[in-house]
Amino acid sequence: MNPWLGWGLAAVLVAAAWQGYGWMGVLFALTAVVFWLLLQFNRSLRVMKNASQAPVGAVDSAVMLNARLRPGMTLLQVIALTKSLGRRLDDAGDAWAWEDASGSRVELQLRGGKLERFSLVRPAADEPPPPAP
């Protein structure tokens, strides 16, 4: 969700609660907004906890990951798909990669925390696959 839209809806909720129920409505609306923020925070922590238990930059199938990616996805959504943290490709932190056991990898380019472009890179036919970790 666009942050501007989310905060705008929260402001509308608080204003409507004020008009309808006064201070008690405002307290209820603020409670609902804080609850929503806690749900989002809990989701982020759960995704990161699951990703921390897997090898960095590893994915079951790079081809399947490539098929499920869409431009505009957030890094948190990508990490939830891969169930592992990506391997950083540059110092700026905008390029990430995930690799499978066959040596195929998906390289992602992010801009502003959103997926801009991605590509599937397969090993050459004469190259042996990397050793299993």
> What pLDDT is attached to residue 113?
84
> What pLDDT is attached to residue 132?
67
Task: Map out the domains of the chain with their CATH numbers.
Answer: 3-51 (no CATH), 55-121 (3.30.1450.10)
Q: Rg (Cα) of the chain, in Å, rounded? A: 20
For 1-133, strand residue ranges (E) read 87-88, 95-99, 105-111, 114-121
Question: pTM score, two decimals?
Answer: 0.76
> What pLDDT is attached to residue 126?
65
> What pLDDT is attached to residue 96?
92
> What pLDDT is attached to residue 124?
81
Mean pLDDT by groups of 10 residues along the chain of 133 residues:
84 93 93 94 94 90 93 92 91 88 92 91 75 67
